[in-house]
Amino acid sequence: MHIEPGVVDGAKIVLSYATAAAAGGLTLKMSWDTIRNDGGAAALGLRSVFTTLLVFCFFEVFPHHAVGVSEVHLILGSTLYLLFGGGPAAIGLALGLLVQGVAFAPFDLPQYGMNVTTLLVPLYAMSLIAKRIIPAGTAYKDVSYSQALALSTSYQGGIVMWVGFWALYGHGFGAENLSQIAAFGAAYMLVIIVEPVADLGVLALAKTFSGLRGSPAVTGRLYAQAA
């Protein structure tokens, strides 16, 4: 979902600074929830290290291809959320994207505000959906395929919507731009086929390695019911 250079430029890029600031506020809220209800500041820091390393690998190591107005990546946002919780997932997405840009893709840094908004706002929306569709009596390790699919669909769909917004904001409603947006959306939504399977595979491993129960390395909700 890296927005291609030139999709939004000039004075228009200022909007991305405002949306990134709002996304930062959502990250602070999710992080505070982790500190208050899910292990404290030390757990937030530890999990954020893990998520940052994982996100860096997702962007730099996993296969990715430019399609239309952006790149298609396997981000596994719902997997990060179910394993580590909202705050660490948000911090990892923001820092992993930044490290990847600084180290390997400095040409992406002007688009950082757009890209981080595109990652974090759908994550926050997905966290709200998770609270509605996963009963308080269900540990994350026991989520169903339909629940994992709903989370993945909401997250990936949110990314596609934000990429479409940036492309329309930058280049308008011309036929070529609309075609490129459609091509990106079609390619990106294929990720929905993969991500729920990845979620359930990772959660199956969590069931097998139950020694992580109570560990600050993962969200407490992975093994326990909601308080």
Q: What is the pLDDT of residue 2?
A: 76
Q: What is the pLDDT of residue 227?
A: 63
* Mean pLDDT of all residues in 87-105: 95
Length of the chain counted residue by residue: 227
Q: Which residue is associated with the tokens 């923001």? A: 94
163 three-state secondary structure: helix
Model's pTM, two decimal places?
A: 0.94
How far apart, in whole angstroms, are the C-alpha atoms of residue 127 and residue 154? 10
Give 22-42 pLDDT, tens digit per residue: 999 999 999 999 999 999 999
Topology of domain 10-222, per CATH?
Answer: Arp2/3 complex 21 kDa subunit ARPC3 (1.10.1760)
